[in-house]
Each structure stands twice: as C-alpha cells, then as structure tokens.
Amino acid sequence: MFKKALAGIGAGALLFGLAACGGGDGGSDGGDDGSLVIGFAQVGAESAWRTANSKSVQDAAEAAGHTLKFNDAQQDQEKQIEAVRGFINQQVDVIVLAPVVETGWTDVLQEAEDAGIPVVLADRGVEAADEDLYVTRLGSDFAEEGRKAGAWAAETFAADADGTKILELQGTTGSAPANDRKSGFFEVLDAEGLNYEIVDSQSGNFTAEEGKAVMETFITTHGLDGIDLLYAHNDEMGLGAIQAIEEAGKVPGQDIQIIIVDGSKAGFQAGVDGKVNYIVECNPAFGPQLMEVVEAVAAGETPEKFTPVEEGVFDATQFEAELPNRQF
C-alpha cells in the first residue's frame, strides 16, 4: 500500500509522520482491519450511466468496509484536478480517477506518484504518454463499442447503393469514449468498404440537452431528407436527438435509423417504442470489481494495465426481452 510506495521516494518518514498524526478524518492508515480510504474523482452526473456508475462504486465501497471520499466534478477538468489534489493532501490510500478528458493529467498524476499514492483509472482513460503515472484502468473498451456499432451499420446499409448518409453526435470533446467510439466505428465502415458520407459530426457533451440542441442544428443545416443514420455516442444524446427529430415532424427509427451506446432503461424503452434501432451496451456496474482492483493495488500488487468490462449488443428483436433486465 502507500506506505510501501513511499519508501521508494525517500520522503517516507516525513509523509508517514503526517499521516500518522493527521488522522482526524478517519485517516489513511490503511486500517488494521484492511479497510482503506479511497478518493474517487468522478466525472459528473451527466447521464443515467454515470449515476449508476457512482452508485455502484459507492455501494461496493460500503459493502467492502472502505471509506469513499466522493467528488463530482461536473464534467470540469479543473475541478477534477482540484479533487485529486485534495485527495493527495488528505493522504488517502488509493485515488480512483475517471478522467473527463484524455489529456492534461501529467502534472497531477506526477504529484500523486511523488506522494506515494497509487492512482487507479476507472471508466475513462488518459493519453498513452501518461501510462506510467497510473497503476491500472478498469473500464470499457470504447473502441470495441465503436466497432460493434460500425459492424451493425456496415451490415444494415451494405446494399445502400447511393451511399449511406451519417450524422454523428460525439461525446465530450477529448474524452476517451468520444475519441474511441468514433475511431472504432469508422474503422469498421472503412474495413467493410461501406460507401458512406459523414454529413455532420459534432459534440453533444454526453447530455440530452446538448444532444437535442445539436440535432436541431443538424436539421436546420442539412434537413433530414436522405439522412440514413444517426450514431449517438450515448443514450442521453440519442434521446435528446429523438425529440428534435419528432419536433421536426419525422419518425425516429424509421425516417432515420439510430444507434445509441450505453443501454439504459430509457434507451431500451426507446428501442421498444421503435425509435432506436441498435444498442451497444456500456456497463457501469463495475463497483465490486473496482474494489478488488483497489485492494490489490493497496496491497502492493500490480494488476494488468487494463481490465475490460464485459458488454453486449442488442437489436430490435431483443429490446423487449432485455428491458426488464436493465439496471439503470
């Protein structure tokens, strides 16, 4: 755990001394009973996925008897960096970071390393240059999610002779899921030789409001006639876009086919209602698995650099049967 890591930086005695006498908040002594103090720098509360993810981590920490210090950064990187600095000052045992975007983490990750506090990434990743500054990442393979969406689109529109016209609602600019869901999707369309055109592609920041507003702009700019497919990087943006499409007098799921990523109850309900054509699952319920990883890291073990969460895909024939199984 962090005491062990401190030995390596030569400042162990000083910092350990601070930890030992500063334990008024429950301390970061790693607990003789194995309980840990974990700082969790969460992205925000922008989606049903995120809310479910926060709850999964909070419940799992409680069940495991650990103290979780939870911070909601409202999708603001500056706030997240401040939260991580706060956790360093409090000398938590392990920091869990779900980085809102991929870049800009080098300094604060270095500060955590200098303080001997291991960082575990949950959900989103950071740029490759910072790989040495965190221990491991537990989360989804976003590129694979994009490939799954691309495989369905390539098959569905294979016979579309005059070219498939695509609108894309990207997630938060610079975030790992936006970058990778995009690249995975178009990688497969290209590999499958689909004749397509990206009519427009903008960020809707993973929220329903922005997804709706961007779709309204798409409709004003391009109309919807001849548009074949909307690829929304999450449920909320897809659901917001559906409203915009309906307000424009068109039928989502028919006049324009729609792919969403996440698979919330609301997303599946839209599928059952015929408004969504394909759902790529992204699983937020990795709290228990995260606790295992955090405990291993605190015990000085080095897990695999990346542990993917298991996820499926669902088409129209499966929406109704799957809806009751959805947990968020």
Nearer to ligand GYE, 199 or 232 (CB): 232
Are the C-beta atoms of 112 and 135 separated by less than 8 Å? no
Q: What angle do CA 128, 133, 137 make, to 5 degrees?
A: 70
- Paired sense of beta strands 196-203 and 257-262, if any: unpaired
210 is a contact residue toward ligand GYE (CB under 6 A) = no
Across the beta sheet with 278-281, the strand order is 196-203, 164-170, 229-232, 257-262, 278-281, 313-315
- Site for ligand GYE (CB under 6 A): which residue of 29, 168, 262, 295? 262
- Site for ligand GYE (CB under 6 A): which residue of 39, 177, 184, 263? 177
28 is a contact residue toward ligand GYE (CB under 6 A) = no
Segment (H or E) for 25: none
- Site for ligand GYE (CB under 6 A): which residue of 206, 268, 286, 319? 206
Shortest distance, CB of residue 50 to ligand GYE, whole angstroms? 5
- Site for ligand GYE (CB under 6 A): which residue of 2, 28, 41, 50? 50
At how many degrees (to 10) do helices 265-272 and 235-247 cross?
40
- Site for ligand GYE (CB under 6 A): which residue of 56, 234, 257, 277? 234
Nearer to ligand GYE, 51 or 318 (CB): 51
Beta bridge partners of 150: none
Are the C-beta atoms of 80 and 73 separated by less than 8 Å? yes
99 is a contact residue toward ligand GYE (CB under 6 A) = no
Q: How far apart are CA 168 and CA 95, in angstroms?
A: 34
SS (H, E, C) 173-206: CCCHHHHHHHHHHHHHHHHCCCCEEEEEEEECCC
Nearer to ligand GYE, 5 or 126 (CB): 126
66 is a contact residue toward ligand GYE (CB under 6 A) = no
Nearer to ligand GYE, 123 or 295 (CB): 123
Binders of ligand GYE among residues 133 to 152 (CB under 6 A) are: 140
Q: How far apart are CA 121 and CA 309, in angstroms?
A: 13
268 is a contact residue toward ligand GYE (CB under 6 A) = no
Shortest distance, CB of residue 228 to ligand GYE, whole angstroms? 23
Count the residues of the shown chain that bind ligand GYE, applying the rule CB under 6 A: 13
Are the C-beta atoms of 238 and 230 separated by less than 8 Å? yes
Question: Which range binds ligand GYE by CB under 6 A, 47-55, 61-69, 161-169, 215-223?
Answer: 47-55
Q: Residues in the site for ligand GYE, rule: CB under 6 A?
A: 46-47, 49-50, 123-124, 140, 177, 206, 234, 261-262, 282
